[in-house]
Amino acid sequence: MNLDELKITGNNKIHLTDSLETSLLSFKLTLTESTIIPDNNKLIIYVSKEENETNNRKTYEFNLKEKLGLNDEFILEPVIKNNKIELKGEVKRNSGNIEEIEYQNIDLFEGENYIYTNYENATIDVIYPKNIELVKYYLNNVLYSLNNKNKILSLDDIYFKDAFTKTDDLIDANLNNLNINCLTSNNNKFHLDSEGNLTVNSLTTSISSSNTNFDEIYPIGSIYMSVNNTNPSTLFGGTWEQITGYYLYAGNTNETGGSNITGAASGETGATALTVNQIPSHTHYIPSLSGSTTSNGDHIHNIGADFDGGAASARYTVHSKGPTGAGYLKPTSQAGAHTHSITTNANNTGASGNNASHTHSLNNHTHTINPPFYSLFVFKRIA
């Protein structure tokens, strides 16, 4: 709702349909060329429930020093006097003179009202107490809070000047709810914009203890990690033990909490197979070697021989001239035993077979299998 809805302008007569049963907030009468001026110095304001009603209408008379003239203004504005809201009256003459008059409250009926004067065809401007929650709040909490301040309230005061920062002059109000584009305190220490962003200088709470149930957040068996080496018992209560020197592993449903992937106890070192690239460069040494064969080697050869006219005893034979008859075999001598010596030179090249049994001393060599890590302090709740 635009607050200009509280301001109504009309010629000769004002018709209100939704007023609170209280006094007008402002009244101004301005004469024009078509205004019919009465023949006396009285200005009379009428307030009736119905348009042509005369029996129950309210009448308010003001005695002027002289009649109102063209472009003169009769003004009633609210003022706080003795902790009460009253109307201060004055006449602003076209000549520049200001005439103060005795004020009166112009009281309205609840709901419908007709407001007019004895100056026919004059322009009437009023600011009235519209029957909405925002106006009720204003009347009850703003005007009545201005204790002991004799201040003439202007339209800016009625529009909550400096109480809100407005966008496009729009402020909406509903029952128990104030819809605005933004809200800013007069000292600029509090600001709430239409996007829901709240800016304050400080926050103060009167709650002495927290309602947070840390037993639900960190039940027994929970792990707490932090870059600060502070035992969480000082933060959340309970009993905690610190875990040091171990990596944490996210297991699956087939594993037991507190065990690693091999099923061994927490912290047990696992095994890894080194690749060729992970083995340092090294050599194998072959010492000088020597040996010999045995002397067992005596043997004989048979040579066939035959006599004159005899049959051959072998494919190749020797002929013995002499007696006749069958051939025979004649062995050679038994000599033939001998040995061989074998000698090799030491060499540090080459590779041994994969069946050779040997040991290595890897001097000044380390092999790290730690993954990249981010160091944290880890605690487990045990009670």
The predicted-structure confidence for 295-307, as pLDDT tens digits, reads as follows 676 777 766 666 6
Residue type for position 267: G
Q: Distance between CA atoms of 25 and 85, rounded to whole angstroms?
A: 9
3-class state of residue 50 by DSSP: coil
Confidence band of 315 (pLDDT split at 50, 70, 90): low
Cα dist. 314→65, 304, 308 in Å?
A: 182, 5, 15
The predicted-structure confidence for 145-156, as pLDDT tens digits, reads as follows 544 344 555 545
**169 vs 29, higher pLDDT:** 29
Is the model's pLDDT at 159 over the cut of 50?
A: no
pLDDT for residue 167: 46
pLDDT for residue 47: 94
Place of tokens 């902790």: 83
Provide the sign of the torsion angle of the four alpha carbons 130, 134, 140, 146, taken in this order. Answer: negative
Is the model's pLDDT at 208 over the cut of 70?
A: no
**312 vs 148, higher pLDDT:** 312
Cα dist. 211→176, 203, 216, 235, 240 in Å?
A: 28, 18, 12, 14, 22
CB count in 10 Å sphere of residue 139: 16
Nearest Cα neighbor of 4 from 133, 140, 88, 130 is 130
Ramachandran sector of residue 233 (left: φ over 0; alpha: ψ -120 to 50; beta: rest): alpha
CB count in 10 Å sphere of residue 312: 13
Burial class of 160 by CB neighbour count within 10 A (0 to 12, 13 to 18, 19+):
middle
Q: Tell me what percent of the residues of the chain surpass a pLDDT of 70.
A: 60
Least-confidence region, from 147-156, 269-278, 343-352: 147-156
Residue 6's φ and ψ, nearest 5 degrees, are -80, -15
Residue 273's φ and ψ, nearest 5 degrees, are -95, 125
Confidence band of 366 (pLDDT split at 50, 70, 90): low
pLDDT for residue 269: 53
Q: Distance between CA atoms of 308 and 325, rounded to whole angstroms?
A: 7
How long is the chain? Answer: 383
Whether the full predicted model's pTM is greater than 0.85, yes or no, is no
**Mean pLDDT, rounded, of the chain:** 74
| C-beta separation of 202 from 31 below 8 A | no
pLDDT for residue 111: 92
Q: Tell me what percent of the residues of the chain surpass a pLDDT of 90.
A: 21
Nearest Cα neighbor of 124 from 113, 134, 116, 136 is 116
Task: Report the side by side order of strands in the sheet with 198-200.
Answer: 183-184, 190-192, 198-200
Which domains does the chain show, CATH number per domain?
Answer: 3-127 (2.60.120), 162-203 (no CATH)
3-class state of residue 28 by DSSP: strand
Rank 33-42, 206-215, 269-278 by mean pLDDT and report only the highest: 33-42
What is 247-265 written as a DSSP string?
------TTS-TTB-TTS-B
